[in-house]
């Protein structure tokens, strides 16, 4: 199912606003976003007006086209806002993969990352 039609009372304005804001931030027209996500521009318009919601597969394609997560589009969670702004897709995928590691491995990655960033800060202060 590509989309679910909503009545005015069922519209999710937050989703619609986030979708529109991200599309505009990327400098895309509804047609261009539709092409990137494999959708007709009329679907994008309906989503942005809040009169319909995308199904799971369509939501993922929209998120991928906008370099964000489905969670951010749906819920707008603050933690996912950083992911929406992270433009390095490979780095984002690496961080997402780390989330699935056991806690002990996550701590190792965190310690390594902290050590690297601390080193860079010290180097920049010395210069």
**How many Cα atoms within 13 Å fall on the side-chain side of residue 90?**
0
120 and 60 fall within a common domain? no
- In terms of phi and psi (left: phi > 0; alpha: psi -120 to 50; beta: otherwise), the region of 27 is left
63 and 97 fall within a common domain? no
- 73: confidence class by pLDDT, cuts 50, 70, 90: confident
pLDDT in tens, 6-65: 444 344 478 999 999 999 988 999 999 999 999 999 999 999 999 999 988 899 999 999
Residue with tokens 């780390």: 98
20 and 75 fall within a common domain? yes
121 and 71 fall within a common domain? no
61 and 94 fall within a common domain? no
42 and 93 fall within a common domain? no
Give the count of domains, the chain: 2
40 and 16 fall within a common domain? yes
57 and 110 fall within a common domain? no
26 and 76 fall within a common domain? yes
Range of the domain at 108: 88-127
33 and 55 fall within a common domain? yes
Alpha-carbon span 19 to 41, nearest angstrom: 13
pLDDT in tens, 34-48: 999 999 999 999 999
pTM: 0.56
82 and 95 fall within a common domain? no
**DSSP notation for 47-90:** HHHTSEEE-HHHHHHHHHHTTS-HHHHHH--HHHHHHHH---HH
């Amino acid at each position: 199912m590509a989309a679910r039609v909503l009545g005015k009372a069922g519209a999710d304005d937050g989703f619609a606003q986030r979708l529109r804001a991200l599309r505009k931030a990327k400098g895309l027209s509804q047609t261009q976003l539709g092409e990137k996500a494999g959708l007709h521009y009329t679907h994008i318009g309906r989503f942005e007006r809040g009169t319909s919601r995308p199904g799971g597969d369509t939501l993922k394609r929209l998120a991928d086209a906008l370099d964000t997560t489905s969670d951010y589009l749906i819920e707008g969670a603050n933690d996912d806002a950083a992911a929406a702004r992270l433009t390095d897709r490979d780095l984002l995928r690496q961080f997402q993969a780390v989330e699935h590691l056991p806690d002990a491995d996550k701590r190792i990655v965190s310690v390594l990352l902290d050590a690297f960033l601390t080193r860079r800060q010290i180097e920049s202060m010395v210069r």
